Amino acid sequence: MRFMVVNTDYPLFIEWLYRRHPGLERASFEQQQRVRDATLFGVADFYASNLRALGHEVLNVYANVEPMQRRWAQEHGVRVSPSLQWGVCLRSGVMPWVFRRASRSWLYEVLAAQVWHFRPDVLYCMCVETVGSEFLRSVQGGYRLAVGQHAAPLPRHDLSGYDLMLSSLPNQVEHFRRLRLKSELFRLGFERRVLEQVQACPKQHDVVFVGAVGGPHERGTLLLEALCQRFDVRVWGHGVERLRADSPIRRVWQGPAWGIEMYRVMRAAKVVLNRHIDLSGRYANNMRLYEATGIGSLLLTDAKDNLAQMFEPGKEVATYRDAMECAAVIELFLDEEEQRETIARAGQARTLREHTYELRMRELETIVQRHWRGAARLRGSVPVAQAVA
């Protein structure tokens, strides 16, 4: 099959990437993508590389990385709208006022050109907040199956154009099904290659938290503030500007840690603290479950109803139900090094055995083949056996 995997990056990460590599924006599309993937940020090329290993053709796209996408357009003779476009409004309700405003037209123009150029069997969108039904309709006929993956606050625009919605959150799977969308549970994972880049090191941090604070993470932020007042906590990530001026998190804020740097921070931690976004409700799902265990550190995560389906609490990960219990567990494992490392090793073994992206892509292959049959009948596509071959 031919997969076109579409994702987006945080604007702060994009700024960091091109600031760290001066002149990168002048490099070829392939070279820019290679440098970006080498950071190991997010899911990088984890989907693409493991799908290729299964024999599929893959075009991996970061739709909002403008220098990279514009370079692709240039290399393929595609004319693209400017980033800033002229607009007109009435000043004071009377006088015409001409101004320039940011436009994302270029993003959809390049993305559409990539669909028509590559003509994927599966258009796999991990950024449904950017790619909605309107775009899918504009490229209908350029792909055969549209699959979305989402486990975050839902976008306001229509998603009915997707043939299938995947989510690592069971409550979102149910939500999509209530909207009469086909939906299945699909978990995140860990990429083994990370271990080649991040070597064992002394445990120099007591407690580490990496992630966003404030905004949709209100409950987790309150927990983190309480812990910062009691333990030697170090915090990396983004969102500190959303916190009140006297938040104790500000005192221990270390700035962002992208990709490899994030894994190194977690590898050097005695305890890696995890908390889920408020909308996750009773369910565990996030990337930190697999990143922290995969890298070989003790994961301390909020107890959820489905956690035991992924890890055995108390033996492969540590859990807490409230701030008081979280503090007690931290205190225990800062003192009990042998027990801490035993659980960390067991958690890593479970992740490498059951939660790698190599295994996830095999699961994805099976899911896609199952849903391909219905889409093939609707669109007159080739039989699934022929497509897989």
89 within domain boundaries: no
Same domain, 245 and 144: no
Q: pLDDT tens digit string along 62-87?
A: 999 999 999 999 999 999 999 865 44
List, edge to edge, every strand of the sheet that includes 164-167: 57-62, 2-7, 122-125, 145-149, 164-167, 183-185
Examine the domain organization and report whether 259 and 155 are in the same domain.
Answer: no
Domain limits at 129?
A: 2-81+107-189+358-388
* 283-317 pLDDT, tens digit each: 999 999 999 999 999 999 999 999 999 999 999 99
| 117 and 213 together in one domain | no
Are 112 and 140 within one domain? yes
Do 176 and 296 lie in a common domain?
no
Confidence of residue 216 (pLDDT cuts 50, 70, 90): confident
The residue with greater pLDDT, 387 or 230, is 230
Indicate whether 10 pLDDT > 70: yes
Query: Does pLDDT of 389 surpass 50?
Result: no
User: Rounded to the nearest 5 degrees, what angle is found at the Cα of 154, between the Cα atoms of 307 and 57?
Assistant: 80
pLDDT at 185 over 90: yes
And the tokens for 68? 């990279």
Q: What is the pLDDT of residue 221?
A: 92
Pairing of strands 122-125, 318-320: unpaired
Categorize the per-residue pLDDT at 141 as very low, low, confident or very high, splitting at 50, 70 and 90: very high
Please tell me the predicted confidence (pLDDT) of residue 256: 95
Same-domain pairing of 72 and 50 = yes
Helix (H, G, I), strand (E, B) or coil at 99: strand
Same domain, 334 and 270: yes
Q: Are residues 148 and 59 in the same domain?
A: yes
pTM (two decimals): 0.91
Say if 317 falls within a structural domain. Answer: yes
Q: What is the pLDDT of residues 354-387, one digit of tens each?
A: 999 999 999 999 999 999 876 644 444 433 333 3
> What's the sign of the alpha-carbon dihedral 227, 259, 198, 312?
positive
Let me know whether 214 and 262 are in one domain. yes
CA–CA separation, 96 vs 34, rounded Å?
A: 47
Contact 357, 47 (CB under 8 A): yes
What's the whole-number mean pLDDT along residues 174-194? 97
- E strand spans, 44-131: 57-62, 84-91, 95-102, 122-125
Are 362 and 316 members of one domain? no
Residue 349 has pLDDT above 50, yes or no: yes
CATH number at residue 223: 3.40.50.2000
Q: What is the pLDDT of residue 219?
A: 86
If asked whether residues 74 and 160 sit together in one domain, one would say: yes
Contact 135, 128 (CB under 8 A): no
With a pLDDT cut of 70, the percent of the chain lying above it is 91
A 10 A CB-CB count for 177 gives 13
Average pLDDT, the chain: 92
Task: Single out the residue of 348, 337, 355, 217 nearest to residue 275, CA to CA.
Answer: 217
Specify whether 230 is located in the same domain as 349.
Answer: yes
Residue 167 reports pLDDT greater than 50: yes
State the average pLDDT over residues 77-103. 65
Strand ranges in the chain using DSSP code E only, listed in sequence order? 2-7, 57-62, 84-91, 95-102, 122-125, 145-149, 164-167, 183-185, 205-212, 233-238, 269-273, 298-302, 318-320
Query: What CA–CA distance (Å, rounded) separates 114 from 125?
Result: 13
Nearest Cα neighbor of 112 from 144, 137, 93, 89 is: 137
Residue 230 has pLDDT above 60, yes or no: yes
- pLDDT, position 95: 56
